Amino acid sequence: MSQKTVDRGQEYVRIEGVTKRFGDFVAVDSVSLSIFKGEIFCLLGGSGCGKTTLLRMLAGFESPTAGRILIDGQDMAGIPPYERPVNMMFQSYALFPHMTVAKNVAFGLEQEGLGKTEIERRVGEMLEIVKLGEFARRKPHQLSGGQRQRVALARALIKKPKLLLLDEPLGALDKKLREYTQFELINLQEQLGVTFVVVTHDQEEAMTLASRIGVMNKGQIVQVGTPTDIYEFPSSRFVADFIGSVNMFEGQLTEDEPGHVRIRCPELDATVYVNHGISAAPEAKVAVAIRPEKIELTRSELAATENRTRGTVKEIAYMGDMSVYLVRLESGRLVRVTIPNTERHADERIVWDEMVYLSWHPSSPVVLTV
Amino acid sequence: MNKALETLQVWFGKRLVIGVPYFWLLLFFAIPFLIVFKISFSWMQPIQPGYAPLFSWVEETQRFVATLNFSNYEVLLDDPLYLGTFLYSVKVAAISTVLCLLVGYPMAYAIARCPPTTRNLFLMLIILPFWTSFLLRVYAWIGLLKTNGVINNSLLALGIIDQPLTLLYTDFAVYIGIVYSYLPFMILPLYSNLEKHDLTLLEAAADLGASPVKSFFWITLPLSMPGIVAGCLLVFIPAVGEYVIPSLLGRTDQLMIGTVLSAQFFGARNWPVASAVAIALLIMLLIPIMLFQRYQRRELQAARR
């Protein structure tokens, strides 16, 4: 996990009411956002949500239809990509195929017209940082996917940008390499003190990398927060559903007190008691979201009358570290429950077609009004 | 059993597919080339077929005797006319090729960056002149370039010049003719290369601080090298041996090698010397082709992953 301490005082990028239209299509819809110095900010969303367009506007490849972008206090309007204090790592890496690794990395410095020895020294240092020293003379097509990714990173970092934009940085890597590279990226970011803006559709990637995540949907930012905020306190049905897996039940508010609420969920065949207040109209239609790992399964009947229900085990998926249970409630609804496999011997485990009781803590459900 | 038959069929099919072009080349290139090569070592003869046989049966020794005549090649080296013509042809072809590249590159680049629908229209327009006879198009330039031709008359009418310019029967006219006729051969390979470029490379270059002009010289130009080489060869090789354009538009005091070749074959009826000229021309052209092949092989190896 990265050091999720961000100096919130130092705003580095400011996006003010930025909209981007392509013909009739609104790719980015009045987005306002602040990104702080030294943080890893992830733009997370499905394909076509506008995250890449937003990133390309930061890089200067697209210009906003409305609104403005300030980087380090400077309005970026009319400033071409080659004059911005920003570098980007492309999803396809966009390595220059006719140049060696060293030449690729040196490209940015050569554009600045630095001396040959200075360039050589800095390229050498950078290649050491990304552990590619011995590959300096290779051409991109002679490298593996992971090595190319590191060349792309080295090339983007060589000019010591204050802001690095990464478009799906780990998208082309296989799972093992991704995990390794994620931590490498975080280490590098801390070591160099660069502000990262990462675009990804992979929530796991966003969770591990980011100090803050901006979830995007249909061109809009729907929630901004730390990975914990986004996961544990989603602000809308969309976010709750998009991040991780969740069991969501529609219900009606029956009791609304400052210290607690009660929600009647017919599908759940239970009343949900939540031990904090919410802001919603009385008797409002709300959704209750409960994460699969926050539900307990037992064979024995529970004394409680609230926050519990029962059903039959329909499906068990053994994942090694944990098992996923699909339980069919009496209403017919399937509920997903994950149980960590803390014991090696499976004698006590719940099996197919068993009648089970489900329960959760009053602090676990998230009540969603939008 | 069936399996074996199938393997045999595949084997035979593969050989057949590869065999057709080989057979074609053998029939229409290798054999005629060997005949010309043979004639180039022969003597001129006033009777048919115009040259002496190389191989003769000698009764006394009971052997075949080959009598080779190297004097045809000696003529090429000794007579300054030939050397001068060769050099002049190479010069004309080289300058025309460079001009073609300078004119063709921006055109190919513009077409490659067009939206796909307009792209096809422009490509059609590039190929369109081929629908008229080559000879006719070169003749048309006489009408444009001659002393009281369209160009001179227009310039006189506009008052830009007082005296008609000498445009026809100059090197200039030959360059115009060659560039005009061979431009599509430059544009098409360049286009097919430029069209495949990954434009994110230019974004990456811009991102790293390269202005559009710098990006062009650092990224686009080097990556279009295979297209440039292919286009240049397609223009240079036929331009060196060009016969029609220099004879119709060119100088009368300086011949190109194609004209000399034709004069030797049809005028002087000296087939052996004409063949020697043809062989020398071929060897000269073989050098750039071989260089290109080596370059292509290297590119191919580089492209392999």
Q: What would the pLDDT profile of A211-240 be if each residue is shown by its tens digit?
A: 999 999 999 999 999 999 999 999 999 999
* Per-residue confidence (pLDDT) for residue A9, from 0 to 100: 61
The domain over range B79-303 is classified in CATH as 3.30.470.30? no
Mean pLDDT for A104-118 is: 94
> Which 3-state string (H, E, C) describes chain A?
CCCCCCCCCCEEEEEEEEEEEECCEEEEEEEEEEEECCCEEEEECCCCCCHHHHHHHHHCCCCCCEEEEEECCEECCCCCHHHCCEEEECCCCCCCCCCCHHHHHHHHHHHCCCCHHHHHHHHHHHHHHCCCHHHCCCCHHHCCHHHHHHHHHHHHHCCCCCEEEEECCCCCCCHHHHHHHHHHHHHHHHHHCCEEEEEECCHHHHHHHCCEEEEEECCEEEEEECHHHHHHCCCCHHHHHHCCCCEEEEEEEEEECCCCEEEEECCCCEEEEECCCCCCCCCCEEEEEECHHHCEEECCCCCCCCCEEEEEEEEEEECCCEEEEEEEECCCCEEEEEEECCCCCCCCCCCCCCEEEEECCCCCCEEECC
Task: Report pLDDT digits (tens) over B262-300.
Answer: 888 888 888 899 999 999 999 888 887 888 788 778 777
Residue of B nearest to A157 (CA): B208
Domain extents in chain B:
79-303
Q: What's the complex ipTM?
A: 0.84
How sure is the predictor about A278, in pLDDT bands with cuts at 50, 70 and 90?
confident
**Do residues A320 and A259 make contact, with C-beta atoms less than 8 angstroms apart?**
no
Question: Residues with Cβ < 8 Å from B305, sequence gap 6 or more?
Answer: A141
Mean pLDDT for A180-185 is: 86
Q: Residue A160: pLDDT above 50?
A: yes
How sure is the predictor about A255, in pLDDT bands with cuts at 50, 70 and 90?
confident
The reported pTM is 0.82
Q: Most confidently modeled of A84-88, A184-188, A267-271?
A: A84-88
How sure is the predictor about A4, in pLDDT bands with cuts at 50, 70 and 90?
very low
* Per-residue confidence (pLDDT) for residue B192, from 0 to 100: 95
Q: Residue A2: pLDDT above 60?
A: no
* Per-residue confidence (pLDDT) for residue A97, from 0 to 100: 94
Task: Report pLDDT digits (tens) over A197-212.
Answer: 999 999 888 998 999 9
Whether residues B207 and A141 touch (CB distance < 8 A) is answered with no
Q: Which domains does chain A have, with CATH numbers?
A: 11-240 (3.40.50.300), 245-368 (2.40.50.140)
Nearest to A94 among B200, B302, B303 (CB): B200
Task: Report pLDDT digits (tens) over A25-39.
Answer: 999 999 999 999 999
As a whole number, the mean pLDDT across chain B is 90
Give B204's contacts in chain A (Cβ within 8 Å): 88, 90, 94-96, 155
* Per-residue confidence (pLDDT) for residue B304, from 0 to 100: 54
* Per-residue confidence (pLDDT) for residue A3, from 0 to 100: 44
Residue of B nearest to A96 (CA): B201
* Per-residue confidence (pLDDT) for residue B302, from 0 to 100: 65
**pLDDT over 90, % of chain B:** 57
Nearest to B208 among A98, A111, A139 (CB): A111
* Per-residue confidence (pLDDT) for residue B145, from 0 to 100: 94
Whether residues A141 and B303 touch (CB distance < 8 A) is answered with yes
How sure is the predictor about A95, in pLDDT bands with cuts at 50, 70 and 90?
very high
As a whole number, the mean pLDDT across chain A is 90
Residue to mutate among A111, A119, A148, with most B CBs inside 10 A, is A111
Q: Could you tell me the two tokens for B63?
A: 């052997």
* B30 against A302, higher pLDDT: B30
Give the CB-side neighbour count of residue A340, counting CA atoms within 13 A: 3
Task: Report pLDDT digits (tens) over B93-149.
Answer: 999 999 999 999 999 999 999 999 999 999 999 999 989 999 999 999 999 999 989
Q: Residue A82: pLDDT above 60?
A: yes
Give B218's contacts in chain A (Cβ within 8 Å): 96, 107
